[in-house]
């Protein structure tokens, strides 16, 4: 099986939703993550804290990239799947989609042993 990175972009911030909406979303996340864990598909993943820094040849800026039209990366998941299509199908069921976010699915290239 290959590993895939799911970059969770955009979505409605928790601060912009009601307590009931946030609770329902957290419950949906629990079901989704539990399903991935039980199937052995989940490798890892976490939400990201806002802010950060961007490092380039020109130096270090005070913030992470926040201008992407697709939305700021707010978290990531790493999944195991047989193909990009299967990884994308797993991403389609993610609660982040119902939260008006989008998910970029990318295959992780294996590194040769050193």
> Which segments of 1-114 does DSSP mark as H helices, in order?
19-39, 84-92, 95-98
The per-residue pLDDT string of the chain (114 residues; one tens digit each, 9 = 90 and over) reads 999 999 999 999 889 999 999 999 999 999 999 999 999 999 999 999 888 888 889 899 877 766 666 678 899 999 999 999 999 999 999 999 999 999 999 999 988 887
Whether the predicted model's global pTM rises above the 0.85 cut: yes
44 - beta bridge partners? 78
Q: How far is CA 38 from CA 14, 54, 103, in A?
A: 27, 36, 22
Which residue bears the tokens 């989008």? 102
Distance in angstroms (rounded) separating the CA atoms of residues 57 and 100: 34
Tell me 94's DSSP state.
S
Q: Which domains can be identified in the chain, with CATH numbers?
A: 2-107 (3.30.70.1060)
């Amino acid at each position: 099986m290959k590993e895939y990175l799911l970059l969770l972009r955009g979505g409605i911030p928790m601060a912009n939703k009601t307590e009931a909406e946030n609770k329902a979303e957290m419950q949906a996340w629990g079901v989704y993550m539990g399903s991935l864990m039980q199937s052995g598909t989940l490798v890892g993943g976490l939400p990201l804290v806002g802010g950060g820094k961007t490092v380039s040849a020109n130096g270090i800026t005070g913030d992470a990239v926040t201008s992407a039209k697709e939305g700021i990366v707010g978290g990531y998941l790493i999944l195991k799947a047989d193909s990009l299509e299967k990884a994308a199908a797993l991403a389609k069921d993610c609660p982040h989609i119902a939260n008006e976010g989008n998910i970029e699915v990318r295959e992780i290239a294996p590194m040769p042993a050193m």
